[in-house]
Amino acid sequence: MINDKAYALGTNRSCIRDLFEYGRARAAIVGPENVYDYSLGNPSIPAPDYVNQTIRDVLAEMDSLTVHGYTSSLGDMATRVAIAADLNHRYDAGVRPEDLFISCGAAPALCAVFSALAVPGAEILAIAPYFPEYKPFAESAGAIFKVVPPDVPGFQIDLAAVEAALTPHTQAIILNSPNNPSGVVYTEETLSSLGKLLLKKGEEYGHPIYIVADEPYRELTYGCTAPFIPKIYPHTIVCYSYSKSLSLPGERIGYVYVPQQAADSAALFAAVAGAARAAGHVCAPSLWQKVIARCTHLRPDLQSYDRNRRTLLDALTAMGYEMARPDGAFYLFIKAPGGDAAAFSEKAKERDLLIVPGDSFGCPGYFRICYCVSYEMIRKSLPIFAELIQNA
Amino acid sequence: MINDKAYALGTNRSCIRDLFEYGRARAAIVGPENVYDYSLGNPSIPAPDYVNQTIRDVLAEMDSLTVHGYTSSLGDMATRVAIAADLNHRYDAGVRPEDLFISCGAAPALCAVFSALAVPGAEILAIAPYFPEYKPFAESAGAIFKVVPPDVPGFQIDLAAVEAALTPHTQAIILNSPNNPSGVVYTEETLSSLGKLLLKKGEEYGHPIYIVADEPYRELTYGCTAPFIPKIYPHTIVCYSYSKSLSLPGERIGYVYVPQQAADSAALFAAVAGAARAAGHVCAPSLWQKVIARCTHLRPDLQSYDRNRRTLLDALTAMGYEMARPDGAFYLFIKAPGGDAAAFSEKAKERDLLIVPGDSFGCPGYFRICYCVSYEMIRKSLPIFAELIQNA
């Protein structure tokens, strides 16, 4: 008498999480310095000192009932004002505080948006390679989850493939740029071509097709900027998290932005709030709302990520590995030597090198590494990468 | 092309929240000292100083990556160990750390439990008066929500009414003790009679009927103790929050406890974790997990609540108001003079006295007041209560 799907999701855990737990267990046996764990995107840059100082300031300056009390379920107005001001400063985007819903990170934000869009028969498209949790999120919301094949080897967006996947039931397409797992940043050109296609098909179908922009990596770019998608395509709903930009993944603080110019924006915003309510959202963690209100100007210190990125890119390319152009996030998505990513990953695992096969991202034949790790670990792991490609 | 139910939940906000917002708006006009807002259960006792000191200690002693990083989705083991130890110390309950799932407060915990139990046709019973959000939580999980009529005037549990409501589809009955809105604590006798009935009917139906014990008010009792329900009935799932006991309602930290002795406990625990995952649960706020691990021994300082409680109880009773015996939580549930609680509450609202009609708790003819307010406000509001009953 237990729900099958919930049980399955609780027992068939994500292969990434499994690998991460395996890494912890191995570390206990062989020592953490001998496990080369590239499995999980847990930031290796600490949160800026300013964040912890702001916590202390908030505790010192504000009364406890305000700091820890319920906020409006939509979020503290001061937090919404600060986030809107920062977005407008950066993107001149016309964001109003009332367009922002403060969420417990990006994951429940996505779930609420999918639920808000889950009319009967609704289809949600993802573009391979994609973050695997999109599938349970969309399906649990009651939508049909469909995958657009990858645009190999550049990992931009194959427009013909998108067009082939669109139907009158398509409610949204989820984009993740900078991308997990490919590290690719979708270009302005890619996004505006996609926007044109979606506008055309939306007119044809008589209803808008939304872009859901999952943007936890927005600020993690190297030598380029991730375009702010609502400026390119009006029917864009942004789901954001401070997990990566401020290295606060465990703290669960982010937002949904429903732009005024998006079709049915007021109803959509209400539905997002309603869907969140139905999932037990009361408010985002209150102390963190106060802290974020004072920290929207902070940007990640990307130096160490960039050193890792360049070190791996140069070394692995020299060894003969091929990969997508890693302009953002903290991932490399690499073609598996020999073509079988699962087999290659298993061999790597035997050497305590933990990498994630691309199959779970909808893109077999590739594997993902997260380079948000110590430089020392990278340095020590390179000979294993060399050995693995030689023996492949 | 927007989901109807989500839209409805986002626009028809809870009448409690509406009244609360109204109170804020009125306060801006007539001054906060002239609004007598008894609408919302936002604790008026600040969090113990020890909590804020623990935040500072955690920030000083632990490295930032650990404090703010992802934890296991089930929760930090140190937190689970500390909570289990505290429960075992108090109730000798045999709680194992691995039976605890750390959640973002009680609300998403309840949603996850309902989803885990939502097999096709599943019915979930609540006992009037009940917390109104149970209905959207249960229905969004896919279950049928049914209400057992109240046991007037004592507001214990009418066993004959429960028996009449049970069917072979009943998966669970949700209990909330100390109760919101009645302030009543279910007695050991009530709970053990209910347990016997559920065991008997469970055998008859060939499957267990779970008690879901929603216990944010567990420690808020005056002159009595709330029985720990898993000790009375084995198939009890506890959903707990630190919102009230530590006055941290905005911080979203609590847990689900699935006792080992509950039927199918391992599968049920997995399904709870899976259902939470499908709703975007990644982990409970990480800093708060660290803080709770060091604060499980803290108990609320109930002196000011108790003074409020006794002051209102004595004064209102002397005026002729009748109410349930308020042994717990911070609510009084009062018979509306004249019988029409909505009309009475409207009249009160005209005098800027904000009280919640019992209709939304499934119990017309009564109104709720939250006495987690300032003593000064109570004192100033008493003449209005007197006037209202005289004119009723």
Residue B107 has pLDDT above 80, yes or no: yes
Identity of the residue in B108, B116, B247 whose CB atom sits nearest the CB atom of A280: B108
Residue of A277, A283, A301 to mutate for B, most B C-beta atoms under 10 A? A277
Identity of the residue in B142, B250, B285 whose CB atom sits nearest the CB atom of A70: B250
Residue B338 C-alpha, separation from nearest chain A C-alpha, in angstroms? 34
Higher confidence at residue A19 or residue A169?
A169
Closest to A90 measured CA to CA, from A237, A198, A210, A230: A230
Q: Which residue carries 């959000």 as its tokens?
A: B133
Strand partners, A228: none
Give percent of chain B with pLDDT exceeding 70: 100
Residue B41 has a pLDDT of: 79
Residue A319 has a pLDDT of: 98
- Element of type H or E holding A283: none
Q: What is the DSSP letter of B250?
A: T
The single-letter code of the amino acid at A231 is K
Residue A234 has pLDDT above 90, yes or no: yes
Q: Which two tokens stand for residue A169?
A: 């039931």
Residue B8 has pLDDT above 90, yes or no: yes
Residue B382 has a pLDDT of: 98
Q: What is the C-alpha to C-alpha distance for residues A96 and A80, in angstroms, rounded to an integer?
A: 8
Residue B124 has a pLDDT of: 98
Q: Is A274 in Cβ contact with B10 (below 8 Å)? A: yes
Q: Is B286 in Cβ contact with A250 (below 8 Å)? A: yes
Residue A264 has a pLDDT of: 97
Residue A15 has a pLDDT of: 80
Q: What is the pLDDT of residues B346-382, one digit of tens each?
A: 999 999 999 999 999 999 999 999 999 999 999 999 9
Identity of the residue in A51, A208, A271 whose CB atom sits nearest the CB atom of B10: A271
Q: What is the C-alpha to C-alpha distance for residues B24 and B349, in angstroms, rounded to an integer?
A: 13
Q: Is B252 in Cβ contact with A3 (below 8 Å)? A: no
Q: What is the pLDDT of residues A162-202, one digit of tens each?
A: 999 999 999 999 999 999 999 999 999 999 999 999 999 99
Q: Find the mean pLDDT for residues B55-80.
A: 96
What's the longest Cα–Cα distance across chain A?
Answer: 63
Residue B232 has a pLDDT of: 98
Residue A14 has pLDDT above 80, yes or no: no
Residue A254 has a pLDDT of: 98
Note the helical H segments in chain B. Answer: 4-11, 15-30, 49-61, 64-68, 77-91, 106-117, 134-140, 159-165, 188-205, 265-278, 286-295, 303-319, 341-350, 375-390
* Count of beta carbons in the 10 Å neighbourhood of residue A391: 9
Residue B389 has a pLDDT of: 97
Q: What is the pLDDT of residues B298-353, one digit of tens each?
A: 998 899 999 999 999 999 999 999 998 899 999 999 999 999 999 999 999 999 99
Residue B16 C-alpha, separation from nearest chain A C-alpha, in angstroms? 12
Question: How much is the pTM?
Answer: 0.96
Identity of the residue in A104, A119, A281 whose CB atom sits nearest the CB atom of B2: A119
Q: Which residue carries 């909505």 as its tokens?
A: B342
A28 class by beta-carbon count within 10 Å (0-12 exposed, 13-18 middle, 19+ buried): exposed
